[in-house]
Structure 1
């Protein structure tokens, strides 16, 4: 398989303390994955040097993701709020680099939560300016940014692949890529395959998640069509399994993502099943 297969750290642990990171890395390796995705919402507790050492010891890749907060939101029209969001993004980019990662992705363009009104013209202009500057900084580090497309209940900036492509065009940087997530696509898109073809060679990162964020194949998402489309466009980038349950609670992110119930209790069983499921889909459409 040419695609690195990853798993989100929240399958294992809720935080990013040294002990949490070591647990996540060792479990990710034991489950047979190539890459760990770490959310930077808890970055204040992260020791990047120690985390990089354990990642390298286990031979794992790293990708980092995050969204913003309403008091640090680059899609705001308030310049002070935008400045706080811009600082969070800059710090997170540097942390990703310090960890040895080249992919910094997520809802980099807004807070992660339900908005009460559409995105303003001024707010969108702020998103473009901030991400254009961040892309230039990332390019100097040989890194890419990912615009993760999230559903309408988590952002008002981009909800579809077409939205994301327009935003990326306005940013105008070659290292700004599109990040598709099957969980969000299931809510917002007409199909699971057409958006993949629409994005094409600009696809830089993929999240695989079931419609209820539980075990793959136990919901109603058409993964067969999605993986067939990935093969059709020749996508060779990371494919990361993302799932959340109240069995593992992040101090901040669980509330942002409305993780209210147990969809699973055994992270290792969930993760090994997901890896086998994704590998089988890749093999089927090779």
Structure 2
């Protein structure tokens, strides 16, 4: 397995201001970083980042979200679905600039947008068709997609590993797979190990995230079950820590972080990585 650190702990757009963070992440012992791609116009910053990561010997994944109803992949409006494909292709283009291997996140639907009911068969089919088109773009750019289920308070379309696996199988494209996130699973799954086992064939990426979004290993996630599931399925992909703090007010508001969750970011990285390595070793 390889370990990673999601840069959303510090920023929603990586520039030279985060050079010191990258150096610290490498020095602590991580193998990779996860780069947020929300700004799809600043190719120069992503290209520069690629050079920086190469010099440090860090690989990269990326994360994005569908941020508005105008780019909703499950919209009944074909123009909106077209816009979703175009947006994700732009994100993938940005990822190419820094050698991104996997683009993860809730790529299936607009985050925080609710219909007042559960997902419909039509929405499922719209999502499948949209992600099939995006998968073709992803293959052309050499970046795999890892679709993420979110808990019911953040979306209504895909909430569980089983739902996401069914969606991925319907898309039926080698460049469209899924990811598993311990934070969302802590809310939605009956058992972490069972959920990991049931979706193992489609899972290519994993987020290690505590129930309060703080330091992994300090909260209530069923970590024994989580790591047992990974061991039982011989998972060999990235284990990337996703944590959120108060560094950026807009990001803190978006992730509903209203209080300090850990003493300092570097300590979270050190303790989180040590926690992962201890459990992998066991």
| Aligned partner (choices 17, 22, 25) of residue 25 of structure 1 | 22
Change (3 A) 1:4 1:250: farther
Residue 7, structure 1, aligned to residue 11, structure 2: no
Deviation, 1:31, is 2.1
Runs of 4+ in 1 over 6 A off after TM superposition: none
Please name the residue that 2:88 is paired with: 89
Distance (Å, rounded) in 1 between the aligned partners of 2:99 and 2:188: 33
Please name the residue that 1:109 is paired with: 108
Distance (Å, rounded) in 1 between the aligned partners of 2:92 and 2:191: 32
Please name the residue that 2:241 is paired with: 241
Contact 2:12 2:37 in 1 (8 A): no
| Aligned partner (choices 70, 74, 81) of residue 68 of structure 2 | 70
| Aligned partner (choices 267, 270, 282) of residue 269 of structure 1 | 267
Using the size of structure 1 for normalisation, the TM-score is 0.91
Distance (Å, rounded) in 1 between the aligned partners of 2:255 and 2:79: 25
Deviation, 1:233, is 0.7
Deviations 1:212-269 (A, max 9, x none): 11122221111111111111111100000011112x2264x43332222221241001
Greater Cα offset, 181-190 or 168-177:
168-177
Please name the residue that 1:36 is paired with: 33
Please name the residue that 1:226 is paired with: 226
3-state DSSP of counterpart to 1:104: strand
Contact 2:93 2:141 in 1 (8 A): no
Contact 1:178 1:202 in 2 (8 A): yes
Contact 1:112 1:256 in 2 (8 A): no
Please name the residue that 2:210 is paired with: 210
Residue 123, structure 1, aligned to residue 116, structure 2: no
Q: State the aligned residue count.
A: 279
Gaps of 5+ in 2: none
Distance (Å, rounded) in 1 between the aligned partners of 2:137 and 2:42: 24
Please name the residue that 2:257 is paired with: 259
Deviations 1:129-151 (A, max 9, x none): 11101112222333211011111
3-state DSSP of counterpart to 1:177: strand
Residue 164, structure 1, aligned to residue 161, structure 2: no
Change (3 A) 1:275 1:257: same
3-state DSSP of counterpart to 1:217: coil
Using the size of structure 2 for normalisation, the TM-score is 0.93
Gaps of 5+ in 1: none
3-state DSSP of counterpart to 2:277: helix
Distance (Å, rounded) in 2 between the aligned partners of 1:19 and 1:35: 17
Change (3 A) 1:256 1:77: farther
Please name the residue that 1:141 is paired with: 141
Residue 16, structure 1, aligned to residue 13, structure 2: yes
